[in-house]
Amino acid sequence: MITQCLKKVRGETLEIPVRMHRDLPDHDAIKTVTIKKEPTGAWFVSFCIETVKPDKPDIETIDSKDTIGIDLGIINLIRDSDGRSVGRLDLSDDRERLEREQRALSRKQNGSNNWEKQRRVVAEIHETMSDKKRDLKHKLAHFYTTRYDAVFLEDLNVKSMLEGPQNARNKAEVGWRGLLEIFQHHGEKHGCHVVEVDSHGTSKECAACGVETPKPVWVREHSCPACGYTAGRDENASFVIQKRGLSELGVGHSEGTPAETGTATLTTFTNSGGTVSARPVVETGSPTLKEPAKAGE
């Protein structure tokens, strides 16, 4: 158990007491220790350790049922090919508080003691908000990489470019940047393939027949003029992502198209009551509550 850290500041050695968020897992060696001071004045110590990584399953042994396609959406944060939805992260209270405290800051005299105090209040809210986002990303990554042999996500930079500025708020809110790295980090840790797929036209392509039908962002239904397949926009996209992931990874699938498998799952899902909030999906992965923010932001 580590209880303190030493840091040299201007020639003096500081003894910093350490409160561990969790025990260090079994490891071969501590590689690096990083000590960082947050704008709020709080110190953070992170340990980079070497561990034995589990092997990822052989491609030949992977069943398409043990893989998942994840669509990162506008209305729902996440829609996956097994019928789960994760609602948006509600940061409205924090945002309101932030605006209020920022206004208060602008009324203080720049550089004064009161200004400095208020600056810390603002910095703390920023920190709380980014902690919540990071936490959610780690929980999601943990959830999916511990349940599946392979997880397929879209190439996010291209996706946000394609969907344009009307989607900016949603993107900014969650900050999808760093998500893939976090998934990859958990994938390594839990022995799960994490594959980024081409996001071009994932919402246009029909998951059942592959024909592309352009539809603007506000059209929430996929209805294929070529084969008649209908599904929710994000639902269809999640199947397309899974299909692309499977072929990228080289997994053959014997029974049915992902779309067929997915439709079956969707029925069960709809019966169980529509969209779920981030909580139930995520809570199963709660051991990651204290996941270190090693990968990503």
The residue (of 163 and 205) whose beta carbon lies closer to Zn ion is 205
For position 224 contacting Zn ion by CB under 5 A, the verdict is: yes
Integer angstrom CA distances of residue 58 from 54, 61, 137, 250, 251: 12, 5, 26, 11, 10
Q: Which residues have C-beta within 8 Å of that of residue 255, sequence separation ≥ 6?
A: 261
For position 208 contacting Zn ion by CB under 5 A, the verdict is: yes
Q: Is 81 helix (H, G, I), strand (E, B) or coil?
A: coil
Q: Is 226 helix (H, G, I), strand (E, B) or coil?
A: coil
Span of 22-30, 67-75, 97-105, 210-218 interacting with Zn ion by CB under 5 A: 210-218
Closest approach of Zn ion to the CB of residue 33, in Å: 55
Q: How many C-beta atoms lie closer than 10 Å to residue 51's C-beta?
A: 13
Q: How many C-beta atoms lie closer than 10 Å to residue 273's C-beta?
A: 7
Q: How far apart are CA 138 and CA 22, in angstroms?
A: 15
For position 2 contacting Zn ion by CB under 5 A, the verdict is: no
Is residue 193 within 8 Å of 187, Cβ to Cβ?
A: yes
Closest approach of Zn ion to the CB of residue 211, in Å: 5
Closest approach of Zn ion to the CB of residue 205, in Å: 9
Helix (H) or strand (E) holding 278, with range, is helix 278-283
Closest approach of Zn ion to the CB of residue 251, in Å: 22
Closest approach of Zn ion to the CB of residue 82, in Å: 21
For position 209 contacting Zn ion by CB under 5 A, the verdict is: yes
Burial letters 84-109, b for 16+ CB under 10 A, else e: bbbebbebeeeeebbeebeeebeeee
The residue (of 211 and 264) whose beta carbon lies closer to Zn ion is 211
Integer angstrom CA distances of residue 240 from 81, 142, 169, 197, 246: 9, 23, 25, 10, 10
The residue count for the chain:
297
The residue (of 38 and 212) whose beta carbon lies closer to Zn ion is 212
Closest approach of Zn ion to the CB of residue 294, in Å: 42
Among positions 229, 238, 246, 282, the unique one binding Zn ion when judged by CB under 5 A? 229
For position 240 contacting Zn ion by CB under 5 A, the verdict is: no
For position 176 contacting Zn ion by CB under 5 A, the verdict is: no
* Contacts (CB under 5 A) with Zn ion, residues 188-207: 206
Q: How far apart are CA 161 and CA 243, in angstroms?
A: 22
The residue (of 24 and 209) whose beta carbon lies closer to Zn ion is 209
For position 226 contacting Zn ion by CB under 5 A, the verdict is: yes
- Look up residue 269 and give its two tokens: 């899902």
The residue (of 98 and 224) whose beta carbon lies closer to Zn ion is 224
Query: How many residues at the interface with Zn ion, by CB under 5 A?
Result: 8
Is residue 206 within 8 Å of 236, Cβ to Cβ?
A: yes
Span of 21-29, 76-84, 170-178, 216-224 interacting with Zn ion by CB under 5 A: 216-224
Q: What are phi and psi of 7, to 5 degrees?
A: -140, 135
Closest approach of Zn ion to the CB of residue 227, in Å: 3
Closest approach of Zn ion to the CB of residue 209, in Å: 3
Which residues of this protein are in contact with Zn ion, per CB under 5 A?
A: 206, 208-209, 211, 224, 226-227, 229
